[in-house]
A and B are shown apart, each in its own frame.
Chain A
């Protein structure tokens, strides 16, 4: 059975674990925040036909963390969404680590470039 598996199996398994962990963690946080929000606003009417944009403290990482620490429902959900957005980024970071362990320098370089681009895209937040 071992001979049937492709050579990069350890990397496959590592990345599978990273993705699963990120998804489970963010889903749990989103669920808690959603519960807090629904407990208070379940019977109101949703308004999404006019775009107002989110309040300033739900647009930046610092603002979200600040509001979430006082158990504000929407901010806790938003924090869970940050964890979800971080999951593919963590997956790329762990790929760099995985290729480093295999001493596969070409792919260390390729994955490091992707990681750098992702970090650049998030520094505008």
Chain B
């Protein structure tokens, strides 16, 4: 295949990755890595570089819309970004000492567990009462837009959420992905935010986590310009469309999409890690 053909296919696939990434709060990376590695046989280190770039693109492209429309919880995102950036720094420094096949197996297991936790019938989340006193002190409780107007919600278990976000950051530095799955799950399952607030706040945060790891990966030569070019442009286009679709999408549908995306990726990664392809 020529570079032109490869670039065109990659741009189209990245468009889909940006769309799904924006709707699920996972970022484009969760689709870009297996696509490059499994379908195109690209070395996982180049794939990780392209994935980091795609996560920042989805995050910035989609978050521009989510922030303006009032979906993302900016205060909560800022507080938790302390944990994710610290984690990303820790992870990036231990990454060279971790062999790639174990890396893929860890990635797969994390995703598989995430899929199990995110079954759409696991309600209720976004509980309307109570909340953490720490959330009151930090003024984290907020409102989000629904078809019937702004709806208030409460933030639960801030301390546990902070700890889990540190782990999400380590995974980002280790695997080179925005670890959006861990972020969405933490916000949704542990902190009990409404699902759309969880995915959009994750979208808001993953760019910062990825940027914290990107410097280190750039320095190591993982970020290839010719590979990143179609990825960035495709992902940006897809994420703009995804951000427009979010307002009218049903939460149950979004949960189902989220679950299947991470389940499929979990199996792909486990297969590749266990057969030593990575």
Contacts and interface: CB of A to CB of B under 8 A. Distances in A.
Same complex for A and B? Answer yes
Interface of A: 4-6, 8-9, 11-13, 15-16, 19-20, 22-23, 26-27, 30-31, 33-34, 37-38, 41-46, 48-55, 58-60, 73-75, 77-78, 80-81, 84-89, 91-92, 95, 106-107, 110-111, 113-114, 117-118, 120-125
Contacts of B1: 45-46
B274 to A, nearest CB: 20
Contact of B215 (A19, A91, A125): A125
21 contacts: A16-B67, A26-B232, A30-B228, A45-B2, A54-B222, A58-B221, A58-B223, A58-B225, A59-B221, A78-B225, A85-B56, A89-B211, A92-B208, A107-B75, A107-B78, A110-B82, A117-B86, A118-B212, A121-B85, A121-B92, A121-B211
A49 B219 contact: no
A90 B215 CA distance: 15
Interface centre among B4, B60, B232 (most CB of A within 10 A): B60
Binding site secondary structure of chain B: helix
B3 A38 contact: yes
Interface residues of B, number: 66
Contact of A45 (B3, B78, B150, B210): B3
Given A37-B229, A38-B7, A114-B208, A6 B216 contact: no
A114 B43 contact: no
A28 to B, nearest CB: 10
A77 to B, nearest CB: 4
Interface string B21-53: 000000000000000100011110110000001
A77 B233 CA distance: 11
A88 B211 contact: yes
A47 to B, nearest CB: 10
A124 B150 CA distance: 44
B3 A19 contact: no
B207 A91 contact: yes
A77 B56 CA distance: 15
A4 B85 CA distance: 34
B68 interface: yes
A101 to B, nearest CB: 14
Given A48-B43, A121-B85, A19 B67 contact: yes
Given A77-B229, A81-B228, 13 more contacts: A23-B60, A27-B236, A34-B229, A43-B2, A45-B1, A45-B3, A46-B6, A54-B221, A84-B56, A87-B211, A91-B60, A110-B82, A125-B216
Contacts of B170: none
B67 A117 contact: no
Given A38-B7, A42-B2, A117 B230 contact: no
Contacts of B220: 53, 59
B61 to A, nearest CB: 5
A43 B8 CA distance: 13
B12 to A, nearest CB: 15
Nearest to B219: A125
Nearest to B66: A16
Given A121-B212, A125-B219, A49 B43 contact: yes
Contacts of A45: 1-3
Nearest to B47: A48
